[in-house]
Structure 1
Amino acid sequence: MNIIKTYKNPVLVALVSIVLYLGFAYNLERSEFIKLICLYAALFITSYLFIEKYLSRHQLRFWVLASIGIIFRLAFVVSIPNLSQDFYRFLWDGRLLIQGFSPYLFTPSTSTAFDVTIAQSQELIEGMGALNASHFSNYPPVNQLFFAIAGLFAGTSILGSVIVLRMAIILADVGILYFGKKVLEQLNLPVKNIFWYFLNPFIIIELTGNLHFEGIMLFFFVWALYLLFNGKWFWAAALIGISVSVKLLPLLFLPLFLKYFTKSNKTSQVFKTCEVSTKSVLIDLGGCGWKILLKLYLVVGVTVLITFLPFLSSEFIQNFAATIGLWFQNFEFNASIYYIIRWIGFQVVGWNIIGTVGKILPMIVVLFILGLSFLKKNSTPQQLITSMLFAVSFYFLLSTTVHPWYIATPLILSVFTKYKFPIVWSFLVVLSYSAYGKNGFDENLWLVALEYIIVIIVAIWEVLRARLKPTRSSTEKTGNTLQV
């Protein structure tokens, strides 16, 4: 009876959460914005109770809470994604690939002209939409591998393919939980932080529910960070390369490794080895820092090249580059600073200047990241991850398109730092779904402004607080840890 009384509240909240997730998965349409945001807000409250209340009061063990997170994900297992149409393109690419055709050389809308036949082709094209069907695939090769596996094991079953992809994403999240916990222990940070990723309804809904592959990318990247901080730079570099071949985003972080490997002073130490070794040694960086850095870049580059090698051709390079360019110069969604620039452009020249601005903003991002690389210390693991967090956040602030699932990257990075504004962002980003109404797409810029104003204010407040407030001791930082 004491056990029932002790764990009554966590069990009740878990059951309520499962009901809410089932409602989200099987009884919600994207156009039902009020219903969507109410379910989402309720799930955020239940997640907060688990992470910030029940962990300390009820001393829930780590893997008990992990099991709860897995159960929440399994609530989606036989559902068709209801907030995104992208999975139809995943299935089309995978089915094309297992027939021996490159998904980078055919668009769904023109495939019939080349005698390419895909099972349920018309249903998949209608599902993904005319815009998606008119472009070549922009998903890198390791991502395509998962699409092909779904086609191979599920055949022509759309639901079967969805289940295969979903199980892969769930396994990746479990991997992030495992290695994320280890990284937090390395950094002497509260282990509970990882649950702001694993129990976050944003992650469960956008990745497991809507089949976005940020989770697969982040699994390889977090695993790479764990190995890197243990001195195993070679295997870390290989995993970073695989991560890039799932989603290109980790390329942003490569310049930030500069100071981590090359800065040498009495107070700056990192885990590293000068030779490829499985043994981890804690020593000051010496003259081999530059050599290791260059080797790391080489291994990343070679790994990426190997994954792209089966598809390489002049036509592939042209198609892939053109499709990537669309994200910067054609597409617009849930942007922040870009929308202000666009408004100024309309006032000055009278038309949308995305074609010009879309070329300039990436250059500003590159300059910002180079500034972080040369001007910030980045010589310790936490400094490095903090710079990564601000690099990717700045990139999204200047992007013309920021889909909700993109926020998964700053969110996972934030759990390894003292900054929590990405958690706020992961809640507010759901406001972007107001654009999908019953009468079609119509973006509510007031809600977009609300999203970014709050996120930016919280971020600025955290930065100022970090500069003004003395660093707390390690003992204070690691309070409220979990039982393992």
Structure 2
Amino acid sequence: MSFFNKYKNVLLLFLSIICYFIFAYFIERTEFTKLIFLWFTVFGCFYMLVKSNQISFKKLIAISVIFRLIFLFATPNLSQDFYRFIWDGRLIFEGINPYLSLPKTFIQEGLKPVSETSVLYEGMGNLNGSHYTNYPPLNQLFFFIAALFYSKNIFGSIIVLRLIIILADIGILYFGKKLLEKLHLPIKNIFWYILNPFIIIEMTGNLHFEPVMLFFLIFGMYKLYEQKWIFAAILIACSVSVKLIPLLFLPLFFQWFIPIYKKIETNKMKWFGFKFQPKKILQLSCFYSIILLINLLLFLPFYSQKLIENYSSSVGLWFNNFEFNASFYYIFREISYLFRGYNEIATIGKITPILTIIFLLILTFFRKNTSLKHLFTAMLFGLCFYYFTATTVHPWYLATPIILSVFTKYRFPIIWSFVIILSYQAYKNLPWQENLWYVSFEYLIVFMYLIYEIKNKKTKIR
């Protein structure tokens, strides 16, 4: 026992490296049983490493980097989205607007607009290749950078994309630590994100660009804390231009500029209001205007009459067509089958965003969001409400709730990142098919822990 205690961290590190090496080079997403076993093993190691008092902060940083570098020369085997990233980047490299064409059309017409056209199309799959790209302009810039270095080599492009994501995570670590210090929170909290196997595998391994979006967001929040709101607006605009998700957070910044006060009358009725401060209102208006203007300017090089139509139709697919790993939506869908006899996704997909907007407005005007801690908590719950009602929740979406939770007292996103692997059961079947028992079990655990945190720990959404 003494030997184990003495070398426990070394053994955990060694076991983690083996697991990550297998994840990177020796497993497919159809191998669900192996996937589950490795996932649970590496998560157990992760938890014990983070909780260990014998490992210094600097050593944990080194370990986090080492785990990511294991994937450096690996071709993603749990996701095929990177083929579309490379495709879009090479189209720009060739002077072709990626927002105006379908990969499927080039294939049908026998055209080869980029190097390795057939390989890229086969890799992305017919489903991905049959809809317009939905990646915002700044994200496209990073795809273009990969093409700039390697326009005829997929493997080289993968390495460039992966290095960008690793650098983004290092940036999150740097500014995340500084924010935790400013908020008087344990700086070790950052490792719930940086050392999380989910983040390492889904982001560094599978090349999803959430870390780049989150780098700009966390950097922006740090500048907001420093009261440099113009710089913060620029950074948050960049975050939106990598992934659209931060758009959901914009209403929540209202109280950062214009604090709402609560007045309690003699009849115990609560009234809410805010002082009319022209300077603060002007700052808020400029803050929103900067974010909007920068995103419009970034789209400008790609502008054409078809751009808005194509882009909106692609984004709309996530609300009206796609279904994956949903929670409440699947309940709504079963109710629609019961009463209507068919899937009402077109209707439900339009209602759930409205519910999200209403919930965000409630968070904006009926709770206190004047401190950064309060703001992070509101962002966390606003985003998770959207995910809980969405028709599609791919695993990599959880990166944002995880980093937000680091700055709050809630850890249910960490639990969610642990059980999200159950969604991979769908890929066990060819063609893929979800088993809703697995989905139900995933969300049962998440909601139970969420309720535990709110009720049993006597916490509040504040």
TM-score when normalising by structure 1: 0.89
Tell me the distance in 2 between the aligned counterparts of 1:350 and 1:286: 54
Cα displacement (A) at 1:305: 1.2
| Alignment CA distance shift 1:339-1:9 (3 Å) | same
- Aligned counterpart, 1:224: 220
Match of 2:82 among 81, 87, 96: 87
- Aligned counterpart, 2:328: 337
Letter paired with 2:179 = V
- Aligned counterpart, 1:380: 371
Tell me the distance in 2 between the aligned counterparts of 1:369 and 1:468: 20
- Aligned counterpart, 1:42: 41
Tell me the distance in 2 between the aligned counterparts of 1:287 and 1:139: 37
Match of 2:60 among 44, 56, 65: 65
The aligned runs of 1:5-24 (5 Å cut-off) are 8-24=7-23
1:380-438, Cα deviation, whole Å (9 max, x unpaired): 11001100000000000010000000000000000000000000000011100000015
- Aligned counterpart, 1:96: 91
Tell me the distance in 2 between the aligned counterparts of 1:128 and 1:175: 29
Percent of pairs with identical residues = 52
Query: Would you say the 8 A contact 1:261–1:285 is kept in 2?
Result: no
Tell me the distance in 2 between the aligned counterparts of 1:368 and 1:465: 24
Cα displacement (A) at 1:440: 2.3
Letter paired with 1:19 = I
- Superposition RMSD on alpha carbons, in Å? 1.9
Cα displacement (A) at 1:180: 0.5
| Alignment CA distance shift 1:179-1:7 (3 Å) | farther
Query: 2:299 aligned with 1:304, yes or no?
Result: no
Match of 2:200 among 174, 197, 204: 204
Runs of 4+ that moved beyond 6 A: 4-7
The aligned runs of 1:29-428 (5 Å cut-off) are 29-52=28-51, 54=52, 56=53, 58=54, 60-112=55-107, 113=109, 117-263=113-259, 288-428=279-419
Aligned length: 446
Query: Would you say the 8 A contact 1:224–1:240 is kept in 2?
Result: yes
Query: Would you say the 8 A contact 2:260–2:365 is kept in 1?
Result: no
1:213-263, Cα deviation, whole Å (9 max, x unpaired): 011100100000111011111111000000000000000000001112101
Q: Which moved more, 1:342-351 or 1:197-206?
A: 342-351
Query: Would you say the 8 A contact 1:263–1:285 is kept in 2?
Result: no
Cα displacement (A) at 1:464: 2.0
Secondary structure in 2 matching 1:82:
coil
Secondary structure in 1 matching 2:71:
coil
Listed as ranges, the gaps of 5+ residues in structure 2 are 263-274
Of structures 1 and 2, the one scoring higher in RCO (CA 8 A, sep 6+) is 1
Tell me the distance in 2 between the aligned counterparts of 1:111 and 1:328: 27
Listed as ranges, the gaps of 5+ residues in structure 1 are 267-283, 472-484
Tell me the distance in 2 between the aligned counterparts of 1:124 and 1:207: 20
Tell me the distance in 2 between the aligned counterparts of 1:285 and 1:50: 50
Query: Would you say the 8 A contact 1:264–1:286 is kept in 2?
Result: no
Query: 2:448 aligned with 1:460, yes or no?
Result: no
Tell me the distance in 1 between the aligned counterparts of 2:157 and 2:248: 31
Tell me the distance in 1 between the aligned counterparts of 2:150 and 2:413: 36
Tell me the distance in 1 between the aligned counterparts of 2:205 and 2:397: 15
Cα displacement (A) at 1:265: 6.5
Secondary structure in 2 matching 1:109:
helix
